[in-house]
Structure 1
């Protein structure tokens, strides 16, 4: 009697011959589009800075413009990522009803599903899940908004919100006024000109604000509040940020945190969203 089991050749052979299809657990999850939110496709890649050409990975990409009661968010959409509007009870909408379903999404809740051309390609699977996550963040942002809380821990650390006496033009407006702006098409320029006009209109109704933070330096830290972000200081040591774009919100929070990162010896610094740090004992000579 042998003490070693024979290899299960039949199972291995069956696995090798069977078609191998891999899925993204995040990307294949359905997206529920709430009522009052519209998703439109733009035939050009998104630009975070029009003065710079888009990265190589986004040169052939498209964009999704997600609009809702809180604002608008642009999400990149690669050429190999496909969108399917699902009819009632998860049935796939036909080509004739897909456009109608996209238009009806603003009136009644719809279900959206993403897929890729070839799920066996690792890059497509990774982008599949990434696009679904970005789109889910955009839907949450334009419907309910995102929030980030920063806590200042340290002797004399204080923050105040005040009107900006020297408001600066937005980066988008400066880029549009420059001759070095790079746009893929005239339609893209017109779209971003409309975005800039909305920013200027918001400036007339909401005065530009800035954060005045004391963090133990010989000078206060002055940080203008970017467009699309609302700041509230309920306590001198607490800063609350709200906005529709989770990426811009996290970027501004990281810029504030960079002035005083949490340090492990005294536990001082700027903590984001309940962040904690394990204290260390200083070495004694």
Structure 2
């Protein structure tokens, strides 16, 4: 912005100098040509095309479109979803609400699903285009293959186990399991496993989370990580899915 203003002011100054005759004669040809602006980047700006890419639907997964009942809400009528997609597979089923300005075309013969929006020039619709497509892709993968999160406990004496009972928290549903952490606290840390998530400990320092809904699995992994975030001096903490951290030099006084 400042560069453009400087060039415009310099151009006006040169034109006034030419009119007044104070500009040297040998500099007159250089200022007679129009000023050309040059951008810092050599590549043209492009928008993401994630929303328009097709989604492959496996043969064991079925998509069912459901019409939702309409509820009148003042000021938000244009954002209330009118259609939902029920994604059903061998591992379970999930339901995704579709914004009213997003259309989903499902080709059962080619096993493809393509999303489109009413006006791609509107920023809100363009943003929700890619978000809806990513959510539908995660649902299709979840009901067919499932999502996993692997947590690694790094530290002296850090241990984890999965228990059927807990002493500090109450179960939220019948048969709920609890993840018990030993990460340097004097009191036990017990976290209830959310419904639809399976937790196991193949090693004392490894926690494996499996589930159909990716958001639920990753949210529970983030809650476990909150108890011991990776610190940059000794490299201790709870790491999620191969997470790495750059170590810092120790402070020497």
Taking a change above 3 Å as real, the CA distance of residues 239 and 271 of structure 1, as seen in their structure-2 partners, is same
Give the deviation of 1:252 after TM superposition. Answer: 0.2
- TM-score, normalised by the number of residues in structure 2: 0.74
Inter-partner Cα distance in structure 1 for 2:251 and 2:143: 50
- Alignment match, 2:26: none
- Alignment match, 2:88: 67
**Residue segments in structure 1 that go unaligned for 5+ positions in a row:** 8-21, 46-52, 87-100, 102-107, 171-202
Give the deviation of 1:67 after TM superposition. Answer: 1.2
- Alignment match, 2:148: 147
Are 2:103 and 1:82 equivalent residues in the alignment?
yes
Query: 185, 202, 227: which is aligned to 1:234?
Result: 202
**Residue segments in structure 2 that go unaligned for 5+ positions in a row:** 1-28, 37-45
Inter-partner Cα distance in structure 2 for 1:57 and 1:131: 19
Give the deviation of 1:284 after TM superposition. Answer: 1.8
Inter-partner Cα distance in structure 2 for 1:63 and 1:248: 19
- Alignment match, 2:40: none
Kept in 1, the 8 Å contact 2:164–2:176? The answer is yes
- Alignment match, 1:90: none
User: Secondary structure at 2:178's aligned position in 1?
Assistant: strand
Are 2:243 and 1:275 equivalent residues in the alignment?
yes
Taking a change above 3 Å as real, the CA distance of residues 220 and 227 of structure 1, as seen in their structure-2 partners, is same
Between Structure 1 and Structure 2, how many residues are aligned?
207
- Alignment match, 1:168: 171
Taking a change above 3 Å as real, the CA distance of residues 4 and 246 of structure 1, as seen in their structure-2 partners, is farther
Give the deviation of 1:219 after TM superposition. Answer: 0.9
Taking a change above 3 Å as real, the CA distance of residues 58 and 217 of structure 1, as seen in their structure-2 partners, is farther
- TM-score, normalised by the number of residues in structure 1: 0.66
Taking a change above 3 Å as real, the CA distance of residues 60 and 144 of structure 1, as seen in their structure-2 partners, is same
Are 2:213 and 1:245 equivalent residues in the alignment?
yes
Inter-partner Cα distance in structure 1 for 2:233 and 2:209: 28
Say what the alpha-carbon RMSD is for the aligned residues.
Answer: 2.7
- Alignment match, 1:190: none
Give the deviation of 1:167 after TM superposition. Answer: 5.7
Q: Answer with 157-166 or 269-278: which moved more.
A: 157-166
Kept in 1, the 8 Å contact 2:79–2:100? The answer is no
Instruction: Note the alpha carbon deviations across 1:200-255, whole angstroms, 9 max, x for none.
Output: xxx5xxx3211111010011210111111111101000001111111001100000
Kept in 1, the 8 Å contact 2:79–2:99? The answer is no
Give the deviation of 1:168 after TM superposition. Answer: 2.6
Inter-partner Cα distance in structure 1 for 2:148 and 2:203: 16
Kept in 1, the 8 Å contact 2:178–2:192? The answer is yes
Taking a change above 3 Å as real, the CA distance of residues 76 and 4 of structure 1, as seen in their structure-2 partners, is farther
Instruction: Note the alpha carbon deviations across 1:158-177, whole angstroms, 9 max, x for none.
Output: 0011112576335xxxxxxx
Inter-partner Cα distance in structure 1 for 2:78 and 2:219: 20
Instruction: Note the alpha carbon deviations across 1:29-84, whole angstroms, 9 max, x for none.
Output: 01111112122233349xxxxxxx9xx69960243221111112222310000011
- Alignment match, 2:63: 39
